[in-house]
Amino acid sequence: MPLLQGRVLLHENALNVPRPRHALANDLSGVVMTGANADARAFQLRTDTGYKGTLLIDSAPYASYTATADEPFMAPPDELFAAVDDSLTFQKARGASAALTPTGYIPPANSKALKAVMREANQIERADTLVSLPIDVTWLNRENIGQLIAVCAKIRHPKAVILFRQFDPLEQAKDVPANLRRLFTEVEHMSLLRTDLAALDVMAHGALCAGIGVQSSLRHAIPPDEKPQTGKRGGGPTYPHVLMPQLMCFKGAESLSNLYANADPATCDCEECDGRGLNRFFLPDGETRREADNHTVFTWSTWVSELASYRAGTERKTWWRNKCAAAVDRYALENQRIGLGASPKSGFQVPPPLKAWATLPANP
Ligand SMILES: [Zn+2]
């Protein structure tokens, strides 16, 4: 899989007309076209914009289909008798660099469904296949991680894990960040798609590749029978979640506008921001959203380049750990600077996964 090795891909929403992203023009990146219609959008990206980089097509069958012991892969509804092989060939014909298996969502502790994915995947006689593993995040709990590792090790193709959970999957239980890292350390040729900064954690620890969503709904997935919860009552416009360069967390544009209401906002030196404040994204128009997304992609792209400049192994892991630890230390300073130091509930809060990455041993 040389086309994927060492890359952090960007999940683009297939609802939108594809356009080339300036921040992604290097050998460490690529695109995952994600959602219904991903194949048509991917083809459009190749033909209309002339995109030549690494490309995956994730039509997200796991959003509507649950894997069973008999049928772990979803057959496309309009091709009732199509084999999995046809789905893989179709993705390649639409421009994909490698093909993702149409695996259904694998529910908590459903060993039969997980083993069926392994069995069916090992029947595939192709060298261009990534076995998609859309797992409930409880597979990373203490009781299940052993079996997950054992099954993944027996799948003879590269694998792509997608984590399911409302809000941030890594906050589901305390040991999830450590166990996710263990999965990526103990099994070869693993990738983590549709995630957030966990992409950098697994890349530092030897992942094949990873994928970060351009918007928060593409940074995790939710089970087919659940509706997304946004933590926002009453509907209304949604605002982008912005990556904070110093604090290494995603923060909603509305809370940033509130937090910096009476203080100088944190600024950013990326190509999009050019020194401007990060409180400027609390507007519902498309141009503001594009600016916010570009800022976020520029910010983590820089980190990916930095990570790649360190030698794989201890050097890379240590750099990542130190970077996370430095970010954790900045929370108290930033809260103090904007006058929220005294009340721990009102300012910026360290996300538990970031704290874990900052404190887990670089070499266990
Ligand atoms: Zn910026």
Using only C-alpha atoms, the chain has a radius of gyration, in whole angstroms, of 20
26 and 173 in a single domain? The answer is yes
Distance 189 CA to ligand 1 centre (A): 32
Q: Which residues contact 47 (CB under 8 A, 6 or more apart)?
A: none
Phi first, then psi: give them for residue 55, nearest 5 degrees.
-140, 130
Provide the H-helix boundaries in 55-128.
84-93, 111-121
Residue 30 tokens, joined: 């690529």
Rounded to the nearest 10 degrees, what angle do helices 145-154 and 176-186 cross at? Answer: 20
CATH code for position 141: 3.20.20
Distance 268 CA to ligand 1 centre (A): 5
Q: What is the pLDDT along the chain (364 residues), one digit of tens a residue?
A: 679 999 999 999 999 988 878 777 678 999 999 999 999 999 999 999 999 999 999 999 999 999 999 999 987 655 555 678 889 999 999 999 999 999 999 999 999 999 999 999 999 999 999 999 999 999 999 999 999 999 999 999 999 999 999 888 888 888 999 999 999 999 999 999 999 999 999 999 999 999 999 988 899 999 998 888 765 555 677 899 999 999 999 999 999 999 999 999 999 999 999 999 999 999 999 999 999 999 999 999 999 999 999 999 999 999 999 999 999 999 999 999 998 865 666 799 999 999 999 999 987 6
Distance 23 CA to ligand 1 centre (A): 11
66 and 193 in a single domain? The answer is yes
213 and 355 in a single domain? The answer is no
Distance 306 CA to ligand 1 centre (A): 17
177 and 270 in a single domain? The answer is no
47 and 158 in a single domain? The answer is yes
61 and 142 in a single domain? The answer is yes
pLDDT at 125: 92
364 found inside a domain: no
97 and 198 in a single domain? The answer is yes
Distance 260 CA to ligand 1 centre (A): 16
69 and 210 in a single domain? The answer is yes
276 and 186 in a single domain? The answer is no
24 found inside a domain: yes
Question: Which of 153, 187, 218 is at the close of a domain?
Answer: 218
Distance 214 CA to ligand 1 centre (A): 14
- For ligand 1, a single-atom ion, the residues with CB < 5 A are 268, 270, 273, 295
Q: Are strands 241-244 and 249-252 parallel, antiparallel or unpaired?
A: antiparallel
Query: Structural domain tally of the chain?
Result: 2
Question: Which of 162, 187, 218 is at the close of a domain?
Answer: 218
Distance 160 CA to ligand 1 centre (A): 29
Note down the domain range covering 247: 241-359
297 found inside a domain: yes
Distance 200 CA to ligand 1 centre (A): 19
pTM of the entire structure? Answer: 0.95
Question: Which of 185, 218, 251 is at the close of a domain?
Answer: 218
44 found inside a domain: yes
pLDDT at 25: 65
> Which residues is 57 bridged to in the sheet?
33
213 found inside a domain: yes
109 and 177 in a single domain? The answer is yes
Three-state DSSP state, 26: coil
Distance 284 CA to ligand 1 centre (A): 18
Distance 216 CA to ligand 1 centre (A): 17
209 and 251 in a single domain? The answer is no
231 found inside a domain: no
Distance 162 CA to ligand 1 centre (A): 27
Distance 240 CA to ligand 1 centre (A): 13
Distance 272 CA to ligand 1 centre (A): 5
182 and 255 in a single domain? The answer is no
Q: Which residues contact 127 (CB under 8 A, 6 or more apart)?
A: none
Rounded to the nearest 10 degrees, what angle do helices 145-154 and 111-121 cross at? Answer: 10
pLDDT at 171: 87
